[in-house]
Amino acid sequence: MTGIRVVLVDDQYLVRTGLRALLDRAPDIAVVGEAGDGATALGVVRAQRPDVVLMDVRMPGTDGLEATRRILDDRDLSDVRVVMLTTFDDDEYLFEAIRAGAAGFLLKDTAPDALRDAVRTVAGGDALLSPAVTRRVLAAAARSPVADPARLDGLTDRERDVLAQVGAGRSNAEIGSVLHLSPDTARTYVSRLLAKLNARDRSQLVVIAYESGLVRPGQS
């Protein structure tokens, strides 16, 4: 079995060493590269073509946001998923990171099993936004200008309902429960929204829901 290939990007050597030790314990995950800054990260990612990049937000020189933009703007790296490593005092970066294309966030104090499961989740194509982090992303979105709600003009009423639930950070099962849909039907709606709104992943649907004014902070 080919394992999930991961690149670690953090300016602290001890953080990278700790993450590598935790990930290497999983037989299905392999750390294939490391970088201590955003500028070096791009070269490592191009060379290794990992499935997932764990990217620190704050680094000297080229920070995690700019490195994420460069990676995700590279058409040759379209299959790479970037997860930001963050602490709760990084709130001002959260919204911009998702707008840049990040698949989600991991707190640096995430438990080992949760870390490994998160890598698997993102490698499988899902976004990684816990309710706690989602609330902070949306609070950051509230401080940003609201985009033209006409972006949603092509959506049906039901699609808008589903998008609002995604914006609230709910899973497919939770969306199904709220809207009286099966989880598979909810998943189909989410896939349709990704295509219609040209969104990279579920995280960007959250941003669209808030930028368009469909959902507002504090709404649940």
pLDDT digits (tens, 9 = 90+) for 168-207: 778 888 899 999 999 899 999 999 999 999 887 787 788 7
In terms of residue numbers, what domain contains 25?
4-128
| Position with higher pLDDT, 139 vs 157 | 157
Residue 42: pLDDT above 90? Answer: yes
- In this prediction, residue 31 carries a pLDDT of 96
In a domain, 134, yes or no: no
For residues 44 and 118, membership in a common domain is answered with yes
For residues 154 and 107, membership in a common domain is answered with no
| Position with higher pLDDT, 208 vs 98 | 208
In whole angstroms, give the CA distance from residue 46 to residue 41: 8
In whole angstroms, give the CA distance from residue 108 to residue 106: 6
Structural domain total, the chain:
2
Give long-range contacts, CB 8 A cutoff, 24+ apart: 23-26: 23/115, 23/116, 23/119, 25/112, 25/116, 26/116, 26/119
**CB-count burial class (<10 Å; 0-12, 13-18, 19+) for 117:** middle
In a domain, 136, yes or no: no
Side-chain-side CA neighbours of 175 within 13 Å: the count stands at 23
CA distances from 113 to 3, 96, 109 (A): 17, 28, 12
Tell me the one-letter amino acid at 153.
Answer: D
In a domain, 220, yes or no: no
For residues 81 and 34, membership in a common domain is answered with yes
In a domain, 135, yes or no: no
In a domain, 168, yes or no: yes
Residue 1: pLDDT above 50? Answer: no
Kind and range of the H or E run holding 5: strand 4-9
For residues 200 and 112, membership in a common domain is answered with no
- Look up residue 117 and give its two tokens: 């499961």
CATH of the domain at 190: 1.10.10.10
Q: Quick one: which of 62, 37, 45, 40 has its CA closest to 6?
A: 45
In whole angstroms, give the CA distance from residue 59 to residue 143: 24
Q: pLDDT tens digits for 120-138?
A: 988 887 777 665 666 666 6
Q: What is the pTM of this model?
A: 0.74
For residues 21 and 74, membership in a common domain is answered with yes
In a domain, 137, yes or no: no
Q: pLDDT tens digits for 69-93?
A: 999 889 899 889 999 887 765 566 7
In whole angstroms, give the CA distance from residue 84 to residue 39: 16
- In this prediction, residue 120 carries a pLDDT of 92
